Structure 1
Amino acid sequence: MRFRILGPIEVETDAGETVTPQALKIRSLLAMFCMHAGHVLSPARLIGALWAETPPRTATTALQVYVSKLRGNFIRAGASPSLITTTSSGYTMRLDGHCLDLALFESRAARAQQAIRMERSLEAARLLSESLMLWRGSALADVRTTPALDGYAQQLDERRNALHEQWLTLELRLGRHTQLIGELYGLAQEHPMWENVHACLMIALYRSGRIPECLAAYERIRRTLHDELGMEPCNRLRNLHRAILAREPWLDDHSRPLSSAYAS
C-alpha cells in the first residue's frame, strides 16, 4: 500500500486502487499517523491535532470511532489489522512493508547530502531531483485545518524549499543553466519574492546569453519587493545585478560556489 502526504492526502493499494478516506477528520488523523509512523501517539495529542483548543466533549469517543473507521478502511483494502494498533498509551501506525512518500523523500535527501560531502555532484543532483519529484503540491494540502497540522506542513514545505535551492545551485554548477530556465520561470511566478530563486534565474539567463531577460528578471523582483513590502532587494541580489552589468568573469565560472561569488 502507498501513502502520500507530500501534497493532498492519498492512499493507494498495490493494485493501483485509490482508498483515500473521504472524511476530513479521518484524513487528518491519517496525516498524523503518517507523520509519526512507528511512534505511539497519545489520545491527547491526536485530539489536539484534530480539534486544536476547542475539542468537543465527545472528542475521546469520536477519536476512537475515527481510528476504527480508518483501520477498517485499510483492512477492506487488504492491509493487516496490525497496521494500526491500540495500546494503553495510545495508537501506533506501523508502515513495515508499505510505502510512504515522506520516507522516500527523506531517504533520497539524506543520500544526496552524503553524495555532496563526497563531491559526487551528478549523483547528488539526481537524488535531489528524484526527491523533489515526489511532491504533488504543498504538504498535507487538504488537511491544514489546525495549528498542529499546519505547523507540520510548514516544516515539510521549508525542507522542500531548502532542497530545491540546493538542487538549483548544483544544476547551475553542472552547467545545466539552459535546461533550468523554464522551471526557474515557473518558480519565480509561484514565489515572486523568493530572492534566491530569482538569483538563480538571473544567472541561468545570463549564462544562456539572454541578457535583456536577465535584467528584466531583476527589475521584476525589485518592483515586487518595493510595491509589496517597501523594501529593496537584498545585498546579494544587488551585487549580482551589478556583476551582470559589469559582465564580471565569475558569472561564467561554473565551479565557483554562487553563495560566495556574490555575497560580499
Structure 2
Amino acid sequence: MKKKTTLSADAFPSINIGVLGPMVVTVNGQSIVPTAGKPRQLLALLALRCGRAVQVPTFMKEIWGGDVPKTGLTTLQTYVLQLRRLVADALPDDAAQSPKQLLATQYNGYQLCFNTEGTFDLAEFERLASSGAGALDRGDAAAASKALGTALELWRGSALLDVPTGQVLGAEVISMNEARMRVQEQHILAELWLGKHAMLIPRLRKLFAQHPLHENMAACLMIAYQRSGASWRALEVFRILRKALAEELGVEPAARLQSLYRELLSNTSELSLREFVLT
C-alpha cells in the first residue's frame, strides 16, 4: 500500500499539468492520468481548461460526438468518480481539500481546480510566446530569441500525444500545434536577424521537409540559403514549393514568395526578413 506524504492542514496540494506532448497531470507529485481512453479525454479537457468549468455537453461532444448513448450522463459521472479516486490516492491523509474540492462539480459541469503553486506548460508557453513576440515587434532580436526558444523547449512531442481526440480536443490540438509553428517562425526570424542563417539551415531543411506547403518556412530557408551564399539552393527551394503547391492544391505561391523569387534572380544583396517571413 502506498505510503502517503504529509502536508500541513492548510496546504493546497500542487497540481502540475503538461499537455505539450504526452499528457501529464499530477497531484502532490503523483500522476492521476487514467489508463482508459475516454477518462483520459475527460481529464484532458479539464486540464486544458483548469480553473474554469467544463460543461457536460462539451464532454458529451468530445467523448461520443453526435452519437451519445442513453447512459451517457451516468457513464460520464462514473468517469468523474474514477478520476476522483485517483485524486484521493494522491492526497495526503491530512489534506485540507477533498477530491470533490479539487475536481469540483459546477453548474452543469466540472472544474479542475488549480493554484498558483502548480505548473501548466501551455500557460507558460503562451506567456513566453507573447513576451517573445513583443520583443520581436520592438526589434529586440536577442530577447525574442531567448523567450521564444525557451517556449519551444517546453514541447515534448505533439500536443496531447497519448490522448484519443474527439471534436473538441481535436480542435484544441490543432490550435496548439499552429501556435507552436507560429513560434517556430518567430524564433527563426529572430535568429536570422541575429545573423545565424548558416546554423539555421539544417533545422529549416527539416521543417520544410515536414511541411512542404508551408510558405513561411520556405521563405525562411530561401533567405538563410541566400545569406549563406547559396542562392541557387534558395531558388531550388522555391521550385520545390511551387511544384508541391501545384500538385496538392492547384495554386501558385503567394505574391510575396513570387517577389522573393524575383529578388533572388536579380541577385539582390540582402532580402527583407519582415516582408517575406511575417504575415
The question of a shared fold, defined as TM-score above 0.5 by the shorter chain, is answered with yes
Task: Determine if the alignment matches structure 1 residue 116 to structure 2 residue 136.
Answer: yes
- The equivalent residue for 2:10 is none
Structure 2: distance between partners of 1:115 and 1:261 = 16
Residue of 20, 23, 47 corresponding to 1:6? 20
Q: Within 5 Å, give how 1:14-25 maps onto structure 2.
A: 20-25=33-38
2:59 paired with 1:46 = yes
Cα 1:74–1:235 shift into 2, 3 Å = same
Partner of 2:186: 166
Q: How far apart are 1:213 and its partner, in Å?
A: 2.3
Alignment root-mean-square deviation, CA: 2.4
AA in 2 matched with 1:147: Q
Question: After alignment, is 1-10 or 188-197 more displaced?
Answer: 1-10
| CA displacement at 1:14 relative to structure 2 | 7.0
- SS of match in other structure, 1:85: strand
Question: What's the CA shift for 1:5?
Answer: 1.2
Which whole-Å CA distance do the structure 1 matches of 2:142 and 2:50 have between them?
A: 32
Q: Distance in 2 between matches of 1:241 and 1:42?
A: 50
Q: Secondary structure at the match of 1:183?
A: helix
Aligned to 2:235: 215
Stretches of structure 1 that go unaligned for 5 or more consecutive residues are none
Work out whether 1:62 is the aligned partner of 2:75: yes
1:94-243 mapped onto 2 (5 Å cutoff): 94-96=113-115, 97-143=117-163, 145-243=165-263
Amino acid at match of 2:67: T
* TM-score, length-scaled by structure 1: 0.87
| Letter paired with 2:275 | S
Residue pair 2:62, 2:165 contacting (<8 A) in 1 also: no
Q: Find the counterpart in structure 1 of residue 112 from structure 2.
A: 93
Aligned to 2:7: none
The 1:199/1:260 distance shift into structure 2, 3 A limit, reads closer
Cα distance change, pair 212–14 in 1 and its aligned pair in 2 (3 A): farther
Match for residue 90 of structure 2 among 60, 65, 77: 77
Q: Note closer, same or farther for the CA distance 1:159–1:172 as it changes in structure 2 (3 Å cut).
A: same
- Tell me how many residue pairs correspond in the alignment: 258
Contact 1:7 1:138 in 2 (8 A): yes
The letter for the 1-side match of 2:112 is M
The alignment partner of 2:54 has SS state of coil
* Consecutive unaligned residues in structure 2, runs of 5 or more: 1-14
Cα displacement string for residues 239-262 of structure 1 (whole angstroms, at most 9, x for unaligned residues): 1122112111332xxxx5431699
User: Do the aligned residues in 2 keep the contact of 1:236 with 1:262 (CA within 8 Å)?
Assistant: no
Tell me how far 1:31 sits from its aligned partner.
1.2
